[in-house]
Structure 1
Amino acid sequence: MIKIADDEFKLLVEFMIKNYGINLSPKRNFVENRLEKIFKGKSFENFCEYYKCLILDKTGKCQEEIVNNLTINYTFFMRESDHFNYFKNTILPYLNESEKDKKDLRVWSAGCATGEEAYTLAMILYDYFENENNIWDTKILATDISTNVIEIGKKGVYEEENIKVLPQQWKIKYFNEIKGNIREIKDQIKKQVIFRVFNLMNSKYPFKKKFHVIFCKNVMIYFDLENRKKLVDKFYECTKQGGYLFIGHSESLNFKNGFKYVMPSVYRKE
């Protein structure tokens, strides 16, 4: 495994915080292990050469590679299932009534990783508006900074082991069996999810309309306090009045912000 000096590790940690909000200071072994993968087949003589390439590369390829290797994209279907139950049983009836004239729901899965959360939401929405899917716009925006996981999400292909927690009727209704234990999300659900590469640390968010619901779960655990505050402020600005923010069970908004606490890891803009 590649070993880097303390000052070199500090440079890389600061680069990731500044550009992506991710604090890797507690994960030195992980970083060095991933750097070995990045350096393989490259001609860098030392870390300084690589770092110079990282900060001067105008093609974006070097930064894309480090993001793909130094982000932790762990997720699974129905993760923290009580959130999805609350979304289905409480939020959707409210939105069904409050948006009945516009019939336009905007949901954002921020830090979507390989797409399981976004597809879970899409299946819930499709079930809920079963008889009105042709008149409601319920598309979901799914974003992540890793191009690798975005491409996996777009394909919507998962092993049987990954979908075992889903209801049997969903497996039949929303998945095609490709071969053996490989399943693919059906087009009727795929077309409901729009995957995009997006950096949550961008100074401005380009969204023209505000979201009714934002899921950003188990993302801020990698951010320092300053960047968590900045991110939550941005979420607040792009959430519609009465809209909801979901975060991970291991996270909390234990700092001053505009959202009102609803229940553990669920907040509302009132």
Structure 2
Amino acid sequence: MIWSLQAAPDLSDKQFTQWSKLLEERAGICLSDQQRVFLQTQVTMRMRELGHSDYTQYLNRVTDGVSGMMEWSVLIDRLVVKETSFFRHKPSIDFVRDTVLDRMNQNTLEGSFDVWSVGCSSGEEPYSLAMVLNDTFEFAQRDPYYGVTATDISRAALTIARTGLYPQRKVEMIEPHFRQRYFSPQEKNRYQIQPELKDRVCFNHGNVLNITDMPVISMDVIFCQNMLVYFRRWLRHEIMNAFVDRLKPGGILVVGLGEVVDWVHPDMVRVPVEEVQAYRRK
């Protein structure tokens, strides 16, 4: 097709505003003008696949009833799925390990230790948390009584996460102990998460904008990094407040460094740990 060989047309200011509004309404993501090229590139790639040549025409398709929601689920994968890695921010994951260790040492670990990984993408973050938790329970010679719930808006990313099969480049940077203990080599230089760990992580589709519609399940740790930064300030605070309602007493909320700089809550206190931005429920 001639369209497929042409350079992508530029989004007009009006079209950029329309697409930005849709993305914010449905995913909470607030795009800056500097991200116009990214939006244009991703939308154009999908338009070419479908044979569309007009941004407004494709926008109408995306917003048209049930078929539009199906197309939106395809497009949103292109717009929100970001490169991630195992143990992406090790100090935060180590802090989760130290939290469960403290509970064990103080004999305050009652019932299951439950963790929620919000915006889990293709699974590297929740599996990293599960590896550390599993090691901690084994070191303490306790039955592995823990679980990790992981949610994301991208169904395509969740499919990868549930499969638990990763290329060598993803796994080779992991500490040898974790790589040998929790992965098994497969064909084509890929590595499979071991079943015992995979069974500890439950992946679910979820949009954090609809957090009030999610089940209120009390968590020991809510781990949310590299996601809130894309939202407006008021929305970050609203989501953080909703997280508090889903924490057990003494539960921990871990966010990315600098993602939320002015949030306060009467039931939460900032944890004085360098390199980690975390809050504890009173």
TM-score by length of 2: 0.88
Query: Residues 217 and 144 (structure 1 numbering): CA distance in 2 closer, same or farther, change over 3 Å?
Result: same
Note the C-alpha offset of 1:147.
1.0
Of 56, 63, 66, the match for 2:75: 66
**Alignment-derived partner of residue 128 in structure 1:** 136
Residue 277 of structure 2 aligns with an amino acid whose one-letter code is S
Moved over 4 A (4+): none
Assess if the C-alpha contact under 8 Å between 2:211 and 2:239 holds in 1. Answer: no
Could you say which structure has the higher helix fraction?
2
Residue 268 of structure 1 aligns with an amino acid whose one-letter code is R
Mean alpha-carbon deviation: is it higher for 256-265 or for 144-153? Answer: 256-265
TM-score by length of 1: 0.92
Residue 49 of structure 1 aligns with an amino acid whose one-letter code is Q
**Alignment-derived partner of residue 34 in structure 1:** 42
Q: Which runs of 5+ in 2 are unaligned?
A: 1-7
RMSD between superposed Cα atoms in Å:
1.7
Q: How many residues are treated as equivalent by the alignment?
A: 265
Residue 29 of structure 1 aligns with an amino acid whose one-letter code is V
**Alignment-derived partner of residue 267 in structure 1:** 279
1: distance between equivalents of 2:109 and 2:228? 30
1:2-60 deviations in Å (ceiling 9; x for gaps): 42211111011111111211112331000000011110232435222211222223142
- Partner-residue secondary structure (3-state), 2:270: strand
**Alignment-derived partner of residue 238 in structure 2:** 230
Q: How does 1:81-100 map to 2 (within 5 A)?
A: 81-89=90-98, 91-96=99-104, 97-100=107-110
Query: Residues 79 and 52 (structure 1 numbering): CA distance in 2 closer, same or farther, change over 3 Å?
Result: same
Mean alpha-carbon deviation: is it higher for 39-48 or for 62-71? Answer: 39-48
Assess if the C-alpha contact under 8 Å between 2:152 and 2:204 holds in 1. Answer: yes
**Alignment-derived partner of residue 150 in structure 2:** 142
1:222-255 deviations in Å (ceiling 9; x for gaps): 1111211111111111111211111112423413
Assess if the C-alpha contact under 8 Å between 1:105 and 1:139 holds in 2. Answer: yes
**Alignment-derived partner of residue 5 in structure 1:** 12
Q: Which runs of 5+ in 1 are unaligned?
A: none
Mean alpha-carbon deviation: is it higher for 18-27 or for 188-197? Answer: 18-27
Assess if the C-alpha contact under 8 Å between 2:166 and 2:191 holds in 1. Answer: yes
Residue 144 of structure 1 aligns with an amino acid whose one-letter code is D
1:96-133 deviations in Å (ceiling 9; x for gaps): 33233x2x111000001111110011111111112433
Note the C-alpha offset of 1:203.
5.2
2: distance between equivalents of 1:113 and 1:261? 26
